[in-house]
Amino acid sequence: MPTLTTRDGVEIHYKDWGSGRPVVFIHGWPLSADAWDDQLKLAADHGFRAIAHDRRGHGHSEQPWHGYDFDTFADDLNDLITALELRDAVLVAHSMGGGELARYIGRHGTGRISKVVLLSAIPPLMIKTDHNPEGVPAEVFETIKNGILAERSQFWKDFAPAFFGANRPGNKVTQGNQDAYWLLAMQQSVKAGVDCVTAFAQTEFTEDLKKFDIPTLIIHGDDDQIVPIDATARKAAKIIPNAVLKVYEGGSHGIANVPGEKERFNQDLLAFLQS
């Protein structure tokens, strides 16, 4: 994997497959660029340049002791887009990556990008508050952080079924889905794991979403057990001008990987890229 060095000296690894119009995939927590391999190949096979980076503290990227906040993540993304001299790019973001995408637009605008996809994404706000009663209670995030600190290997094994919907009757989740999740999660540093929970729980992206002025496709499962659709996608679709929301009935959080859901997402993604 090639690397770049961010403005604050952190080495970021990324994949760069194919050629053509660039499509940048932004992974969720606690994963890495590897989680996008199916979609990277799909895009590259259809004449696009498919790019995905490992967020700092994740995958093969450097694990600094600082910078696990969305301003920094957005600036890292900007460093990547600038270093590769990308123009007319499509950004595709999953889960926490949706916050990175939103904050990138909030801080750096849309001059280099032409359209975006938010998949199971966290904006505008995850945590439950008086003005976001549909959100996730604060104690849930504390339980997640405590689980990582207590015994993260077992925690990731226990967390995977809800991530993919393997705890639902009739699901098509494979053991491979869950094993791959554990493997990628174990590559994340403990520091990144805990700090990112605080960041994606508490950061609000409403003002960032208001700055979207390009075609936006939002895809979210209505059985997402990790990022509840009523607190996120349904609200984001009302904030982003002219956004299109596609709800996957019974869809999990791990839509891009679960058999059945993955094929539907790939079809919708490719249609949007080619439109």
Q: How far apart are CA 206 and CA 50, in angstroms?
A: 28
CB-count exposure of residue 116 (10 Å: 0-12, 13-18, 19+): buried
CB-count exposure of residue 110 (10 Å: 0-12, 13-18, 19+): middle
Q: Which ranges in 127-189 belong to alpha helices (H)?
A: 138-164, 175-186
DSSP structure class, residue 132 = B
pLDDT at 64 > cutoff 90:
yes
The single residue of 32, 61, 95, 252 carrying the catalytic annotation is 95
The whole-number pLDDT of residue 223 equals: 98
The whole-number pLDDT of residue 1 equals: 81
The single residue of 53, 189, 224, 252 carrying the catalytic annotation is 224
pLDDT at 47 > cutoff 90:
yes
Q: pLDDT digits over 132-179, tens only? A: 999 999 999 999 999 999 999 999 999 999 999 999 999 999 999 999
Average pLDDT of the chain, as a whole number: 98
Q: pLDDT digits over 105-142, tens only? A: 999 999 999 999 999 999 999 999 999 999 999 999 99
Question: Quick check: is 224 catalytic?
Answer: yes
Mean pLDDT, rounded, for 7-19: 98
The single residue of 13, 27, 220, 253 carrying the catalytic annotation is 253
**Closest among 202, 232, 204, 201 to 219, alpha carbons compared:** 232
| pLDDT band, residue 34 (cuts 50/70/90) | very high
Q: What percent of the chain has pLDDT over 70?
A: 100
Mean pLDDT, rounded, for 29-55: 98
Cross-sheet strand order for the sheet of 48-53:
3-5, 11-17, 48-53, 21-26, 89-94, 113-119, 216-221, 244-248
Domains defined for the chain, CATH in brackets: 3-274 (3.40.50.1820)
Question: Quick check: is 189 catalytic?
Answer: no
0.85 exceeded by the pTM? yes
Strand-pairing partners, residue 4, are 12
| pLDDT band, residue 18 (cuts 50/70/90) | very high
Q: How far apart are CA 87 and CA 61, in angstroms?
A: 24
Question: Quick check: is 69 catalytic?
Answer: no
| pLDDT band, residue 57 (cuts 50/70/90) | very high
| pLDDT band, residue 4 (cuts 50/70/90) | very high
C-alpha of 24 from chain center: 11
Strand-pairing partners, residue 221, are 248
| pLDDT band, residue 191 (cuts 50/70/90) | very high
